Amino acid sequence: MKPVVVAIDGPAGAGKSTVSRRLAQRLGFQYVDTGAMYRVIGVLAAERHIDPNDAEALERLCRETRISFRDDPEGRTHIYADGRDLSDAIRTPEAAQWASKVSAVPQVRAHLVAQQRALGDKGGVVMEGRDIGTVVFPDAMAKFFLDASPRERARRRAAELHREVSEAEIEQVAREIAERDTRDRNRAHAPLKPADDAVYVDTTDKSIDEVVQLLYDIVTARRAELATL
Ligand code: DC
């Protein structure tokens, strides 16, 4: 039996994390946030003053670091590097930029893709990232590419700061995600792009519930279809 994988890709702020987590819950699947893995390598590289272009040092770092996930009693998934909880440290704007930089290095991708495939091979996973439908699981049972207007994506990221945000701050976030998107879309290895067979979903004017329902219906229809083959 092929493992059942739902692949969710898209740029920053398109709603991937919230939607993927909720969809996984509804399906009774495991949720895997691959961006968190690139963020861990980015944060550790910055801590150790490793140049994001130093492929050799980054490869060594990947080889020496054991990344693991564990859910706390409230159901929040924590990410650990050799047992150290980095769940909060990886959520800063700097960590996002470091992640985007180290993720362009093929050796880093090779290490993390292997770990992602091992997690997905158990089956019953919703995996979120930039290259899940194109590279990590090209045979995924269902593939989605979530997108939203740049302005809406910036507004959502700014809202995650959980305080009043000024227009100037939204502009700043918009610039940061535009910079990151350009890097993620234009890198030579596994750039961000929809798989040919991905369902493209523009989430700009949709609520989270609407998007989750849309994906859930498509996944369950696909499962029913496969069961009759
Ligand atoms: O999804 P995120 O914002 O946490 O991802 C952080 C960075 O990691 C993103 O800018 C690009 C990189 N990334 C990637 O290259 N491939 C993935 N599958 C997931 C994330």
Residue from 212, 207, 188 nearest 148 by CA: 207
Nearest CA to ligand 1 atom 12: 100
| Coil/strand/helix, residue 74 | coil
pLDDT tens column, 86-116: 999 999 989 999 999 999 999 999 999 999 9
* Residues 158-181: tens digit of each pLDDT: 887 777 888 898 899 899 999 999
Assigned superfamily of 5-223: P-loop containing nucleotide triphosphate hydrolases (3.40.50.300)
- How confident is the model over 38-58, as pLDDT tens digits? 999 999 999 999 999 999 999
Q: Each residue of 192-214: pLDDT tens digit?
A: 999 999 999 999 999 999 999 99
> Phi-psi category of 126—alpha, beta or left, where left has phi over 0 and alpha has psi -120 to 50?
beta
* Separation of CA 97 and ligand 1 centre (Å): 9
Q: What's the whole-number average pLDDT of the chain?
A: 94
Q: Report yes or no on whether pTM surpasses 0.85.
A: yes
Residue 3's pLDDT band, with cuts at 50, 70 and 90, is confident
Residue 224, classified by CB atoms within 10 Å of its CB into exposed (0-12), middle (13-18) or buried (19+), is exposed
Ligand 1 binding pocket, CB closer than 6 Å: 12, 34-35, 38-39, 96, 99-100, 103, 129-131, 180, 184
Compute the average pLDDT of residues 113-133.
96
